[in-house]
Structure 1
Amino acid sequence: MMLPAALLLLGALTAVFAPRLLARAGWPDREPVVALWMWQCVIAGVLLCCALSMTLSAAAAWRAVGGRVFATAPSVVVEAYALGTAGPWAAATAAALACGGLWSAVMLAREVVRARARRRRRRAELIDGAPLLPGEERGRRLVVLESERPDAWWLPGSPPQLVVTTAALRRLKGRQLDAVVAHEQGHAQARHDWLLHCSAALAHGFPQVPVFAAFRDEMHRLVELAADDMASRRFGRLTTALALVELNKHRGVFGPCPTPQAHVPARVHRLLTPPDRLPPVRRLQLTAAAALVPVVPLLLAFGPGLRALG
């Protein structure tokens, strides 16, 4: 039975060529939301190839597993998959892929636990830095923190909180503060924190797999572009760009030496020189094409059974 091997080959080809095609494309910076969707579909396709290959390999290697997988399938479907012709590699393949899936779940759980610990620590710091006033209820949505560093961030949780420092309030002029709030609300509404958790878990769990490292890096970049666009649509590109400059110029990000926030100048330049958006038909085509990436392994896996029934 060569189907598990074909699925693994498809997953490998997707992992190798999809990031290269996206890196060469000129539209992701113009349509970050579509690019986010396409990246998620690529990773889902790769993971789905591995999961389907593991399932079919286990069904071929162990009769008990095959009986459960094909419990309700007609005999012609079972015969179409030729489970009895699997070689000795089926059990090893299934075991290796199962270990990979378990390790991915462990890495994701670790990432979520660490994120929750960071949130608890930051909430405790907020309580110390901005204690509740008499009569003020817990679960406030906006927290003003006394600080000489201009900053603003959205703290996920229940309830989510927007934290703004007093230096940011003094430095941001006019609607710049509104643009910063809209930017952070964009992160919260789109649940970008979960995208960052999943991408970080895969990258940390499988550091030798380039597609997962590229997925993590692109998620960090694209979620910021998507939030910038949400803020600029409401308050203008110039206002959003000026707000970014005011919040980051003290960090030295606009100097010649690279910093951890080196992406900020590129974001400001993008806001000041906005690229033309893709036509709606083109965006729809790209969205549909991305959705096909995880559909192809499903069609490949179910193909023998569908042909047998047909």
Structure 2
Amino acid sequence: MMVPVALLLLGALTAVAGPRLLARADWADREPVVALWMWQCVVAAVLLCCGLSMTLSAAAAWQAVRGQVFATAPHAVVDAYALGTAGPWAAATAVALLCGALWSLAMLVREVVRSRARRRARRAELLVRAPLLPGEEPAGGRLVILEGERPDAWWLPGATPRLVVTTAALRRLRGRRLDALLAHEQGHARARHDWLLHCSAALAGGFPQVPVFAAFRDEMHRLVELAADDTASRRFGRLTTALALVELNEDRGVFGPAPAPHAEVPRRVHRLLTPPDRLPALRRLRLTATAALVPALPVLVAFVPGLRALGR
């Protein structure tokens, strides 16, 4: 009964090697969408390893679980997994992994609840600062103009999503620069980046001692901004998008001697002004396909004994 152990070792190897390989990749900033996909595949592979190991350990420890997991499997397949030879560690492993799964789910629920509470608070604030006019429907428009002295814009997701722009941003950004800013926020909305941020924050918050989850959260925050920048620059040009970023953030001190709170903004502007060549389409396809194989590997490891038994 070595498959659960092999899956745990594979999960640990993926958790260690995956982030290191992605950190060494010189193409991540050039292809943020591909990098986002690869990070998701690495984390999915780690979670799959844990989930499959938990299932097989539980099947080895308890006959009731075994009957459910292998309900329609031939006897040769069940014998191939040698479930009856498992020691007392099987039950302990299954319980530990189940606790980890339940904790992950609880952290995700907590993150979603907190996010919804923040959205409700921001919507209530919007109603106070930008009240509905007589006869105006609550869901009548997706664009909200908010009186504000600081230029800003953000996408407020939810059942009735809103794109909020302050009057200072309208005064400072004109024409195509304003359009580029709005396209950036719409790029976040179309790609559902909010869910990526929720999931990565839940894993990092639930398992702060696991480096792969912390790296996943940090990279999601960085890469979603680069992807949204590319969405805007494809429509309105890199120079226009870079100027929009500069004008939006120049009063926040991000381009000064100590731009710690928004250190990524100058790097994003530099990336837009000195764009690296995109990867060839064939290499992007190879990277995407290779990443898809990473979460498929734990599934293959879990099914190898059964497939061998069927092939005899």
- Settle same-fold status: TM greater than 0.5: yes
Q: 5 Å matches for 1:35-54? A: 35-54=35-54
Q: 5 Å matches for 1:1-310? A: 1-139=1-139, 140-310=141-311
User: 1:193 deviation in Å?
Assistant: 0.1
TM-score of the aligned structures, taking structure 2 as reference length: 0.99
Residues 130-183 of structure 1: CA distance to partner in whole angstroms, max 9, x if unpaired?
111222221120000000010000000112100000000000022111001100
Please report the RMSD computed on the Cα atoms of aligned residues, expressed in angstroms: 0.6
User: 1:217 deviation in Å?
Assistant: 0.2
**SS across alignment from 1:144:** strand
The one-letter amino acid of 1:159's match is T
Residues 187-213 of structure 1: CA distance to partner in whole angstroms, max 9, x if unpaired?
000000000000000000000000000
CA–CA separation in structure 2 for the residues paired with 1:144 and 1:259: 29
The one-letter amino acid of 1:187's match is H
How many matched pairs?
Answer: 310
CA–CA separation in structure 2 for the residues paired with 1:133 and 1:160: 19
CA–CA separation in structure 2 for the residues paired with 1:258 and 1:128: 32
CA–CA separation in structure 1 for the residues paired with 2:99 and 2:119: 30
The one-letter amino acid of 1:158's match is A
**SS across alignment from 2:138:** coil
Residues 278-303 of structure 1: CA distance to partner in whole angstroms, max 9, x if unpaired?
00000000000000000000000001
CA–CA separation in structure 2 for the residues paired with 1:217 and 1:204: 12
CA–CA separation in structure 2 for the residues paired with 1:6 and 1:202: 23
**SS across alignment from 2:254:** coil
Identity of aligned residues (%): 82
**SS across alignment from 1:135:** coil
* Aligned structure 1 segments of 4 or more residues deviating by more than 6 angstroms: none
Residues 215-246 of structure 1: CA distance to partner in whole angstroms, max 9, x if unpaired?
00000000000000000000000000000011
User: 1:261 deviation in Å?
Assistant: 1.2
Quick check: 1:252–1:259 contact (8 Å CA) kept in 2?
Answer: no
**SS across alignment from 1:150:** coil
User: 1:97 deviation in Å?
Assistant: 0.2
CA–CA separation in structure 1 for the residues paired with 2:250 and 2:200: 29
CA–CA separation in structure 2 for the residues paired with 1:221 and 1:90: 40
Quick check: 1:179–1:235 contact (8 Å CA) kept in 2?
Answer: yes
Q: Which runs of 5+ in 2 are unaligned?
A: none
**SS across alignment from 2:155:** strand
Residues 244-290 of structure 1: CA distance to partner in whole angstroms, max 9, x if unpaired?
01111111011111322110000000000001000000000000000
The one-letter amino acid of 2:88's match is P
Quick check: 1:28–1:34 contact (8 Å CA) kept in 2?
Answer: yes
The one-letter amino acid of 2:309's match is A
